[in-house]
Structure 1
Amino acid sequence: MIRKLLVLFLLFQATGFAQIGINTNTPDATLDVNGTVRVENLIDASGVAVSLTGISSANRLSRTTTGAGLIVNENTLELAPVTRNIGELDLSPLIAVEGTTLNNVSALLGVGESNEASTFIRVYGYSSTINLTGISGGFHGRRITLYFSEEQNLRLKEEDGAAAPENRFVTLATSQITVSGTGFVELVYDATAGVDGLGRWLVLKFRP
């Protein structure tokens, strides 16, 4: 009987400070999960629901971009990384398909895309006047400066219905702004802008 109690005590001692791994044989933390984590019905001891920062709409834990260049990563608030490199956006493939009016243009701002961390992006690849009605991939606080490097005019259309609402521009004019030849437009994304609250790119300034 004493021997059994000793064995149980030793097992308790061994497991009391153990690291548990799920889908891994070499855990590096008290609980090491190699895969996604889903959390539901998280209630504290007092019966109050607990809100987790960094949780997706599917209740999966993740890194969260909060906007304005901020990221919550492992309960730490960080500045989103940006590069000093000049990003690039070649419009010529889009022009070949869509013509001189381009809607919902991807500026390659997404995770893993070439302009993810660029704040200054050179736009090129057009040989006639181009109309832009919207840019996809905006998130709250994202700020970019588009440098139009060709000699032809480029117009940003105000609230143009050809673009998805969340990709549209709110300009400093009633219908459009025009960059005559080389020039730049500085934009910031507001996720609640627009009469529908779906978000818009706001023009901060431009050099015509």
Structure 2
Amino acid sequence: MGVAGRMAGGRRRVAVGVVATVVLGLAAACAGNPPAAQKALSTLEATVASLSPGGSPSPSSTEDGQVPDGVTLSPFDTKAAAVRNLDPALLAALRKAAGDAKAQGIEMSVTSGWRSKAYQQRLLDKAVAKYGSLEQARRFVNTPEKSAHVSGKAVDVGATAADYWMIQHGAKYGLCQVYANEIWHFELLTTPGGTCPAPLADAAG
């Protein structure tokens, strides 16, 4: 069976499980057992809440740091692990920058923040498949051992207008562009108001 078939089968099993839960809950209610019915309903609500229309986890349930496609995270969204697990000093600086940017008409979002080691490894594996070698992949995605995302000390900012605003003003908050080929990747590399170091060529550097 192909990957698509396995995914479809998994979705069918989830659907069957949800239906079974509802049926059991209704049966319990009819039998005069409201607590069991309420528990079944809660299970259904939790299952539905954890899935987006495309079957991807919602940001509140994505505990490995993934940000689902089409989801925009605010630097103030503490429900998302990608934001919540950032280094406190980095998060505080980011929020100050976001507030000042907004006052100037620039909306800032977090496109990626903290990542688990497992998630970072999946990203690296995909990059190796895309670019053909670990050496080339590491220009864009670091290893879990070296990634500042895994330690919570790096954040990727969007949209493009916010990226360029941060490149221009980020040093005021201690935030610096780290890689020349990633205008969105920022880390705390200087004291607020200090001078940022020159960006490295890429993540492999």
Same fold (TM over 0.5): no
TM-score with structure 2 setting the length = 0.22
Structure having the higher strand fraction is: 1
**Structure with the higher fraction of residues in helix conformation:** 2
Between the two structures, name the one with larger relative contact order (CA 8 Å, sep ≥ 6).
2
Larger radius of gyration: 1
Q: TM-score, normalising length from structure 1?
A: 0.22
